[in-house]
Structure 1
């Protein structure tokens, strides 16, 4: 049995369609691979942009933390003394007050004196420099008015209430019981 012969007018278009189909089948693999690679490149660029943005953000500052109230007060006082020494400020008192509602977040109280600029700089440093502290209350007033004759500046007073963090202590021998 023999296959009927196709007229020459139909043979050329059918061979063209067959060749086009073959090219389409052969090109589908690389084209779909290229599309998938482009999608992976786009996802990678987005990840890189997020990583670069995260790297440019300033690091999170840790709060003032200690193992107990005495250590917290010592760390608070040392931090205040460092900040006061850099500015025109004097520490009159610093103490820690436990908060029964928040046992791990005791109140830290400080009484300070200094120039308006010195106290402002100290407050700003407390809230923006490590260790990070949030001022809960601030009572500001004039301790001594300026004296134009002697050239003395106004001395301000500040009573601050801040929060520290006491890390909970693990119970002794709690694991083996």
Structure 2
């Protein structure tokens, strides 16, 4: 009987092994199909992002000039245009070359005005056209408010931004 039992089990074991092999062979395409689905979804997401980016309006151009003097003049003109809309006075502007990045000199400005005027100017500098990347800013109280005579707080804003020189490198210089 033991011999007969082994004979009856062999075909069943062969069938189980064959079924296991068929399952393993059939699982390969299923798993690769799942991988393909995830790759298709990732490609669709990239395509959607590319379409959104293409649909957006072009970026704001940076503040550029052919040389350092022209860049400082453009910076000063931009600040004067923005200061004219609020209660802001420009005390001084200067250009500082950066030896590590000669095409991207640092532009410094010192301004006085009301908190609202300086806030509006700072917001316009960072978001308006032409774009200036503000690297540092220092806001201090120049004179406190006086409620008795109706005088607002006078603030001082000193900031440094970057501009782009497309020609010869900038030289240190103050604007008149």
Output the CA distance in 2 between the equivalents of 1:108 and 1:145. Answer: 28
Q: Determine the structure 1 residue equivalent to 2:142.
A: 143
What do residues 125-157 of structure 1 show as CA deviations (whole Å, max 9, x unaligned)? 001010001110101100010011110000000
CA shift, 1:88, in A, is 1.4
Q: Determine the structure 2 residue equivalent to 1:10.
A: none
- 3-state SS, counterpart of residue 79 of structure 2: helix
* Structure 1 residue ranges without an equivalent (≥5): 1-48, 170-177
Of structures 1 and 2, the one with the larger relative CO (CA 8 A, separation 6+) is: 2
Output the CA distance in 1 between the equivalents of 2:149 and 2:135. Answer: 36
Q: How many equivalent pairs are there? A: 125
TM-score by length of 1: 0.65
- 3-state SS, counterpart of residue 119 of structure 1: helix
Q: Determine the structure 1 residue equivalent to 2:83.
A: 84
- 3-state SS, counterpart of residue 152 of structure 2: coil
What do residues 77-116 of structure 1 show as CA deviations (whole Å, max 9, x unaligned)? 0000000001111100011111111110111000000111
Computing the radius of gyration from Cα coordinates, the structure with the larger value is: 1
Q: Determine the structure 2 residue equivalent to 1:123.
A: 122
Q: Determine the structure 2 residue equivalent to 1:59.
A: 58
CA shift, 1:53, in A, is 3.6
Structure 1 runs of 4+ aligned residues shifted over 3 Å read 49-56
1:19-168 equivalences under 5 Å are 53-54=52-53, 56-168=55-167
* Structure 2 residue ranges without an equivalent (≥5): 1-47, 169-176
Output the CA distance in 1 between the equivalents of 2:102 and 2:81. Answer: 27
- 3-state SS, counterpart of residue 123 of structure 2: helix
- 3-state SS, counterpart of residue 86 of structure 1: coil
